[in-house]
Amino acid sequence: QQEQWRKLVQEPSVTADGHTVELAANIGTPDDVAGALVNGAEGVGLFRTEFLYMGRNALPTEEEQLQAYRAVLEGMGGKPVVVRTLDIGGDKELPYLQLPKELNPFLGFRAIRLCLAETDIFRTQIRALLRASVSGNLKIMFPMIATLQEFRAAKEIVAEEKAKLQASGHAVSEAIELGIMIEIPAAALLADQFAKEVDFFSIGTNDLIQYTMAADRMNEQVAHLYQPFNPALLRLIDGVIQAAHAQGKWVGMCGEMAGDLQALPILLALGLDEFSMSAASILPTRSALRGLSQLQLQQLREEILAKATPEEVLALLDEQLEEVY
Ligand code: PEP
Ligand code: MG
């Protein structure tokens, strides 16, 4: 099987009926780029920038960040690279920021919330990204967006820093897309409004499942409630994709669900455009795609969304897809 997969490294990510999607890699450091390419990644769908900030005693400088972002953009050689701005807080701590202990860190001061409050940290990262933008195909993504106001504020900061950089003689790409992660149910439910203003969505199922089911993603005792195939979650995902497509925007997914072969037919049925996953999952997914018909799956969309439980969703797929893999 490994041999079969290897042959697909340079092949397109296309279904049996000719529907093309993008299979991208989730990375955490510039060193991960090589592995992404060896495994046939068509882009980076999620660069978690936290690593730059972790395991040290002080914030990374603009120059340090610039080097890392440039290395990834150049390494990917013009393929799309979605860089997520700092997503600290929740389960990811930065001791040197000395943030107060919180009772509910996953519902607290994290990610874009922290960045919009501590704007020096955020502006430094944005400047580094803008300066790196001329080295490749950069897309900037904001994590944990709950309100349009947050997106507008972040977008405004990007515009301000871009103007300042250009005024001081720095080149900045004019083609940078700005998108948001959909990982809070409020943003998923309001996707039609967001879709008018963002360039893309990327669905972060790791958090979206946790917040939709009110089940801590780290807590074993409620792991049975952490249900990727719950129709409640599938309806949220569907709404996001429909809303984006109505505005001509693309939708990716960068949570674990994107690399789950059991989820693949469902996500194709719902019309997902980009799947971002650990590098090791890309070739198995590309191989599985070749055995699936998007047109056929699309016809199951309403039936899937009308199911009541995860078990019913999976039974429907089992019944419809014999011997797909
Ligand atoms: C997610 O929430 O699905 C996601 C990709 O982000 P992280 O796992 O880094 O929270
Ligand atoms: Mg997340």
Cα-Cα end-to-end distance for the chain: 11
Listed range (32-36, 105-109, 307-311) with the worst mean pLDDT: 105-109
User: Using CA positions, which residue lies closest to atom 6 of ligand 1?
Assistant: 204
- Does 323 have pLDDT greater than 80? no
* Amino acid at position 266, single letter: I
Instruction: Name every protein residue with a CB atom under 6 angstroms from any ligand 1 atom.
Output: 46, 48, 87, 183, 204-207, 254-255
Task: Please choose, from the candidates 50, 141, 61, 124, the residue with its C-alpha nearest in 3D space to the C-alpha of residue 93.
Answer: 50
Buried b (16+ CB within 10 A) or exposed e, 136-172: bbbbbbbbbbbebebbebbbebbeebbeebeeeeeeb
The pTM assigned to this predicted structure is 0.97
Question: For residues 280 and 36, what is the distance between their CA atoms, to the nearest angstrom?
Answer: 8
For residue 254, the ligand 1 atom closest to its alpha carbon is: 5
Ligand 2: distance of its center to the CA of 181 in Å?
8
If you take atom 4 of ligand 1, which residue's CA is the nearest one? Answer: 204
| Best probe residue, ligand 1, of 181, 233, 276 (max atoms within 8 Å of C-beta) | 181
- Give per-residue pLDDT as tens, 124-147: 999 999 999 999 999 999 999 999
* Predicted pLDDT of residue 91: 75
Q: What is the DSSP letter of 260?
A: -
| Helix, strand, coil in percent for the chain, rounding step 5 | 50, 15, 35
Confirm whether residue 207 is marked as ligand binding.
yes
Tokens of 266: 């469902």
Complex-level ipTM: 0.99
- Mean pLDDT across 46-73: 97
Neighbours of 106 (CB within 10 A): 16
Q: What tens digit of pLDDT does each residue of 243-270 get?
A: 999 999 999 999 999 999 999 999 999 9
